[in-house]
Structure 1
Amino acid sequence: MKKVLNRHQLSALFGFCLVVTFLFSPSLYAQDDAASDQAAAAEATAAGEEGPCGPGDPDKGKQLFNQNCAACHALNRKMTGPALANVASRLIEEEGLDCEWIYAWIKNSSGMIASGDAYANRIYEEYNQAAMTAFPTLSDQDINDILAYTEATPPAPAAPAAAAAGAQTDAGASGGVSNELILGALAMVFALLVMMLILVNRTLRRIAEANGVVLEREKAEKGLPLWKAFAQNQFLVLVSVIFLMLGAAYFAYGWMMQVGVDQGYAPIQPIHYSHKIHAGDNKIDCNYCHSSARVSKHSGIPSLNVCMNCHKSIYEYKGNPEGPSAEDLAMGYTNEFYTNEIKKLYKAVGWDEENQQYTGETQPVEWVRIHNLPDFAYFNHAQHVTVGKIECQTCHGPVEEMEIMYQYSPLTMGWCINCHRETDVQMEGNDYYEKIHAELAKKYGVEKVTAAQMGGLECGKCHY
């Protein structure tokens, strides 16, 4: 005889489910704010305001440092110029100089070198005979503010992304139950509820059978099968065949029209380059890197020397003051990630960070081409960028918002033809088109002539 759970056993099982649900409820675990309060207190600790040359404001000094010094100097490493952490204390204690010498050097370094000052000339020779930029507009108090900032303890280097992620995981584990544990508990509770329902169903059936109650399911009346009824209706069969053939032709045409169209193509490059940071945040003009687009058929791949124009001095990415967004963190785009990509650039061009010079050991970067027209299609960047004055975003989309560059437009023949039909020729400063435009405008009876009216739809313009 099969064993049936009585009501006391069922009550105990139900109580066990409630206890499990209660124990693993995420609402019972609140984040412990003590650690975050301690971290905030540590960050809020301000450096002393008394500098080696007098009182100074480190916060104001940081702003002045970033505006005037950060292009060539860092606090704790050598760049174009020497590291400036505790620079005033070192010059006073180790070199026997005074604050007046520091003021004079910052305001007019070339004058100090020309005067024959021994230490000034030593620095001049050590750093490739490149005199420091003079800052005559900085007052003594401004310099004191900068020195107070350099005397503050340099910030610790950012932890690797993996360590940061591990710290976040540990923090989450210490502050509450992990999501995996909660989901596991909920799955166990759901399984127990299913088992309870099955047991209750079996128990009720046995009680009904013991009392002589017969449970029968109503049997559905048998009729003609649906497929047989459909097959016997010739009209429905004909209509269905026609719709299937039209649908198949429509999808086949759509699939064939996508052959060779790479819209949305976004390959992973050997060195991650963020157009969002360069063209968006830093407002770098597209033609600065792709300079050949103004005078050549091709826009060209920028030389790595163009990158080094800035990255000789920008050796790490510090990001926005408020830190990376949640979306960037989810994708792994941390300050450490971008800094590592700069290191890849240095390795490719053979740049020695410590000695600030090229080693001559270069490595080619195998960039992956994104926009690639067929060989039988002719396109001239200079004709569109310089003569036509077309913005880069017209074809390439909002590049200033793209973290990873991708093909924004389909670049199909129909897309180009529609652009020629809708785009008016820009006449301002285009003397080449002035006479042609006047004659065509008279011919078509319009004020503005489109590229199509100037022959932009002729086959030989793009296919040669």
Structure 2
Amino acid sequence: MKKVLYRHLFSKALGLSLLFSPISFYAQEEAAAPTEEVAADAGADTGGDAAKGKQLFNQNCAACHALDRKMTGPALANVETRLADDAGLDREWLYAWIKNSPGVIASGDAYANKIYAEYNQAAMTPFPTLSDQDIDDILAYTAAPPSTPAKAATTSGGGDGGQPSSGGISNELILGALALVFGLLVIMLVLVNKTLRRIAEANGIVLEQEKQKRMPLWKAFVKNQFLVLVSVIFLLLASAYFAYGWMMQVGVDQGYAPVQPIHFSHKIHAGDNKIECKYCHSSARVSKTSGIPSLNVCMNCHKSIYQYAGNPEGPSADDIANGYTNDFYTGEIKKLYKAVGWDEENQKYTGEGRPVEWVRIHNLPDFAYFNHSQHVSVAGIECQTCHGPVEEMEIVEQFSPLTMGWCINCHRETNVKVEGNAYYEAIHEELSKKYGVDKLTAAMMGGLECGKCHY
């Protein structure tokens, strides 16, 4: 019998495949470091409830104070202990100061007048409705040490870039081992195929019959003139259709969502916090354009909101995957401070601001006239009608095509709100008498005339 040269190579390949195959069934264990939550028992010293105090602090104090940093007012972490050590003041002084700070200043109290002078002679807002127990709860919260959040165990889909945990094998190593196994199997099958062919040839076995010669397909196609004519006509029509569709999209930027120099989340502002669109875009009520909000409008809130605390439920998996974490949003607030020239430490403007180069999203041609106030104030159309659900958009995009046909269809189909508008009521009455019109649309009032939008 003829010796097969590939027998030893076949054995080696099979052995390697058996060696590496168990790796594919290895279950990766994630060694999650045990975390302990240390409860802060600060309420025992102050006689208050820190949990209730946190709620009262957020409702009454957080607009001007933070625990660990100076804002409009001083930092309040361990305020009772610091006052006792620095000025020898007790809790009774704090009761009087919180409930009626102007009265304490007027009484000539030295420390109260020192604070009053240090903070630009602006007295703290008095809180006479807070009881002594409420103040005790707030002091319990300010005396509690800041909690250290436990680091969550990182999975393969988390934000650590897929780094392997210390107790298992990385996904890259498993995939590499699987690729090696499959490669060895392919090599093994090729070698087996060659070996079997050599054995068959040695024994005179015919593996394949000679294929009958036939005409190539392309030659048969060329000789059929009718099929060629039909194919050419079909290709020309298809090309014209796609060329027309492509040219009709020139200047249509539906879905355009540029990256802005400062990330502004409409989902957080208009969605989570329910801020009305016209609070920022106030000129939409009275002007042709909706306007770009000035940075001073942003600072109305962000003088006090210096970091993003996030939703109570925490960021979603999609937000984490896209990098939209609390630290990311806090960094964007810092960009706002730099642009407007706000000294966060001293709580004042430096005068060294710089303009923000916002990228325009919605842009009509110069020959098309559109008036926001006519649609928003007169017609009462909601912003979402044209701009889509902006309260759900993390990055705002052009929702509608804003083409001429899209506008004309709206004028034809949208009913005008005539209730409470004497001008439209008179027009509707005349149209009803003359034509028996039940509903009034913009098209019936000349909304399809060329001069309405092009002049």
TM-score, normalised to structure 2, is 0.93
How far apart, in 2, do the equivalents of 1:318 and 1:169 lie? 24
How far apart, in 2, do the equivalents of 1:298 and 1:438 lie? 32
Alpha-carbon offset, residue 249 of structure 1: 1.1
Segment drifting more, 239-248 vs 297-306:
239-248
Partner AA of 2:361 in structure 1: I
Query: Given the superposition, is the C-alpha separation of residues 77 and 449 from structure 1 closer, same or farther in structure 2, using an over 3 Å criterion?
Result: same
How far apart, in 2, do the equivalents of 1:415 and 1:32 lie? 57
1:162 corresponds in structure 2 to none
Q: Does 1:439 find its partner at 2:430?
A: yes
5 Å matches for 1:141-156? 141-155=133-147
Partner AA of 1:23 in structure 2: I
Query: Given the superposition, is the C-alpha separation of residues 169 and 388 from structure 1 closer, same or farther in structure 2, using an over 3 Å criterion?
Result: closer
1:105 corresponds in structure 2 to 97
How far apart, in 2, do the equivalents of 1:170 and 1:86 lie? 41
Instruction: Give % identity.
Output: 73
Q: Secondary structure at the match of 2:291?
A: coil
Aligned to 1:381, which of 362, 372, 375? 372
How far apart, in 1, do the equivalents of 2:220 and 2:199 lie? 44
2:6 corresponds in structure 1 to 5
Segment drifting more, 201-210 vs 385-394:
201-210
5 Å matches for 1:393-404? 393-404=384-395
Aligned to 1:215, which of 179, 187, 206? 206
Query: Given the superposition, is the C-alpha separation of residues 2 and 460 from structure 1 closer, same or farther in structure 2, using an over 3 Å criterion?
Result: farther
Q: Figure out how many residues of one structure are paired with residues of the other and give that number.
A: 449
Deviations 1:224-267 (A, max 9, x none): 22222222222222221221111111111101100110111111
User: Are the equivalent residues in 1 in contact too, given 2:281–2:291 (CA < 8 A)?
Assistant: yes
User: Are the equivalent residues in 2 in contact too, given 1:24–1:182 (CA < 8 A)?
Assistant: yes
Query: Given the superposition, is the C-alpha separation of residues 170 and 214 from structure 1 closer, same or farther in structure 2, using an over 3 Å criterion?
Result: closer
Partner AA of 1:16 in structure 2: L
User: Are the equivalent residues in 1 in contact too, given 2:432–2:438 (CA < 8 A)?
Assistant: yes
Q: Secondary structure at the match of 1:421?
A: helix
Aligned to 1:454, which of 445, 448, 451? 445
How far apart, in 2, do the equivalents of 1:18 and 1:441 lie? 87
Q: Secondary structure at the match of 1:173?
A: coil
Partner AA of 1:396 in structure 2: H
1:418 corresponds in structure 2 to 409
Query: Given the superposition, is the C-alpha separation of residues 221 and 166 from structure 1 closer, same or farther in structure 2, using an over 3 Å criterion?
Result: closer
Alpha-carbon offset, residue 324 of structure 1: 1.6
Query: Given the superposition, is the C-alpha separation of residues 62 and 219 from structure 1 closer, same or farther in structure 2, using an over 3 Å criterion?
Result: farther
Q: Secondary structure at the match of 1:300?
A: coil
Q: Does 1:353 find its partner at 2:344?
A: yes
1:128 corresponds in structure 2 to 120
Partner AA of 2:270 in structure 1: A
5 Å matches for 1:69-108? 69-108=61-100
How far apart, in 2, do the equivalents of 1:155 and 1:386 lie? 49
1:332 corresponds in structure 2 to 323
Partner AA of 2:343 in structure 1: D
User: Are the equivalent residues in 2 in contact too, given 1:158–1:336 (CA < 8 A)?
Assistant: no
Deviations 1:91-146 (A, max 9, x none): 12222111111122222223322333222222222222222222222222222222
Alpha-carbon offset, residue 26 of structure 1: 4.3
Alpha-carbon offset, residue 362 of structure 1: 1.1
How far apart, in 2, do the equivalents of 1:12 and 1:318 lie? 60
Deviations 1:38-69 (A, max 9, x none): 22x2xx311114355x3222222222222222
Query: Given the superposition, is the C-alpha separation of residues 463 and 26 from structure 1 closer, same or farther in structure 2, using an over 3 Å criterion?
Result: farther
Query: Given the superposition, is the C-alpha separation of residues 221 and 171 from structure 1 closer, same or farther in structure 2, using an over 3 Å criterion?
Result: closer
User: Are the equivalent residues in 2 in contact too, given 1:275–1:400 (CA < 8 A)?
Assistant: yes
Segment drifting more, 124-133 vs 366-375:
124-133
Query: Given the superposition, is the C-alpha separation of residues 389 and 172 from structure 1 closer, same or farther in structure 2, using an over 3 Å criterion?
Result: same
TM-score, normalised to structure 1, is 0.91
Partner AA of 1:205 in structure 2: R
1:20 corresponds in structure 2 to 20
2:154 corresponds in structure 1 to none
How far apart, in 2, do the equivalents of 1:191 and 1:21 lie? 12
1:368 corresponds in structure 2 to 359
Alpha-carbon offset, residue 330 of structure 1: 1.1
Partner AA of 2:199 in structure 1: I
Q: What RMSD over aligned residues (CA atoms) do the two structures have, in Å? A: 2.3
Q: Secondary structure at the match of 2:452?
A: helix
Aligned to 2:39, which of 43, 46, 50? 46
Q: Secondary structure at the match of 1:32?
A: coil
How far apart, in 1, do the equivalents of 2:322 and 2:15 lie? 43
Alpha-carbon offset, residue 207 of structure 1: 2.8
Deviations 1:298-334 (A, max 9, x none): 0000000000001101111111233221111111111
Segment drifting more, 175-184 vs 411-420:
175-184
How far apart, in 1, do the equivalents of 2:248 and 2:12 lie? 65
Partner AA of 2:5 in structure 1: V
Alpha-carbon offset, residue 169 of structure 1: 5.5
How far apart, in 1, do the equivalents of 2:99 and 2:164 lie? 51
Deviations 1:394-430 (A, max 9, x none): 0000101111111110000000000111111112333
In the alignment, structure 1 segments of 5+ residues that lack a partner are 160-164
Deviations 1:326-367 (A, max 9, x none): 111111111111111111111111100000000000111111
Alpha-carbon offset, residue 206 of structure 1: 2.7
How far apart, in 1, do the equivalents of 2:72 and 2:162 lie? 40
How far apart, in 1, do the equivalents of 2:238 and 2:352 lie? 60
Partner AA of 1:46 in structure 2: A
Query: Given the superposition, is the C-alpha separation of residues 429 and 80 from structure 1 closer, same or farther in structure 2, using an over 3 Å criterion?
Result: farther
How far apart, in 1, do the equivalents of 2:321 and 2:165 lie? 19
Q: Secondary structure at the match of 1:172?
A: coil
Segment drifting more, 373-382 vs 451-460:
451-460
